Chain A
Amino acid sequence: MIPILGLAAGVLLGLVFDPTVPLWLQPYLPIAVVAALDAVFGGFRARLDGIFDAKVFVISFVSNVVVAALIVFLGDQLGVGAQLSTAVVVVLGIRIFGNAAAIRRHVFRA
């Protein structure tokens, strides 16, 4: 319940305040969002599996975001930021798909 409420409140706040993303953050924000989404899907799946652990969720959430941002940062420094961003998004996308598939199996039994 808390995560859903938090998400809804966050979306509302973001829409209301509509802040401008600072320039230095612009390359990392979308990657960080995707990484966090991955963590949330993973947490939801773990919850359905009955193995949800708040500590693991929090740590995985934060580390997901930090590592994704770090990879993009490193890629920027190496001159391959765009490619590494794509790589991160692809990997996270695959993981989100996998988690979504597991959730689907739980919810629809199919």
Chain B
Amino acid sequence: MTGPERPDPPGEENPGAGPAGPGPAGEPPPARRRRRDPLAATLIGVLTLLLGFALAVQVRNADEAQVLAGAREEDLVRILDELDSREERLRSQLAEQRAALRELNGSGSQTGAALEEARQRAERLGILNGTLAAQGPGMTLTVRDPAGTVQVSDLIDVVQELRGAGAETMQVDDVRIGHSTAVTGAPGELVVDGTPLRSPYEFVVLGDPQGMETAMNIPGGVVQRIERRGGSVEITGSPELVVDALRPLDRPQYAAPDTE
């Protein structure tokens, strides 16, 4: 494997030795030659430096890698088996957690969306029914009835015309008009939902002011009829009105939701 070695005797190989015994003719004694050769000294230094470097690196490297590399085959198989089963366990755990996360996410967004939907629906119904105060653009419509001649049907017509013209919710004096509002009584002593009205009757209506005003003033409409009876109607549009009279929510006595 090395230069000047002879196969015999065992234990006598000496790489780095000059030719043992009789050196080639003309070669100076090796011991003296070493001193005189700076190139050889440099080479030796470099080689031994490399050796030391590689040695240290390999030792470090072996520290890290040799733990498994030095293990026996059966041990390696056992370790591999353990790692495999552990991986499988962790994978199944991961799948479970993923499924749970998906479920939670799905149900969370579902209930959230349903809640939001229900809330909006309740708001719309509340405004429609008069259980919620409302605000927005609209108009005030004041019916003066100095002679006490405005009839029940006139007020009902006012309400119906307003609804037909796009009124979304309204109140008269401090009574909210809902879907079951009743106007009763005699001219001059009108009663709305059991609350007596005093002239002037002041409607606060939320809706499109222009459309409602046009509908009110239509020839032969409710305003003209009231004026014919001796009353007067004053309409004032407004960009910001508040309808804050509330109606109790009727609990249906006979009708129940059809759940099918």
Contact = CB atoms under 8 A, between A and B. Distances in A.
A64 B61 contact: no
B31 A39 contact: no
Contacts of A49: 14, 17
The prevalent SS among residues of B at the interface is: helix
B26 to A, nearest CB: 14
Interface stretch (B39-47, B158-166, B176-184): B39-47
- Interface centre among A45, A58, A97, by most chain B C-beta atoms within 10 angstroms, is A58
A63 B52 contact: no
Given A60-B15, A68-B1, A15 B56 contact: yes
A43 B16 contact: yes
A14 B16 contact: no
A101 interface: yes
B44 A54 contact: yes
Contacts of A5: 45, 48
A107 interface: no
B212 to A, nearest CB: 84
Interface of B: 1-4, 10-20, 30-31, 33-34, 37, 40-41, 43-58, 60-62, 65
21 contacts: A2-B48, A3-B44, A10-B53, A11-B52, A13-B52, A21-B57, A26-B61, A29-B57, A43-B16, A45-B16, A46-B15, A49-B17, A51-B20, A51-B30, A53-B33, A56-B16, A60-B2, A64-B2, A91-B1, A94-B10, A98-B10
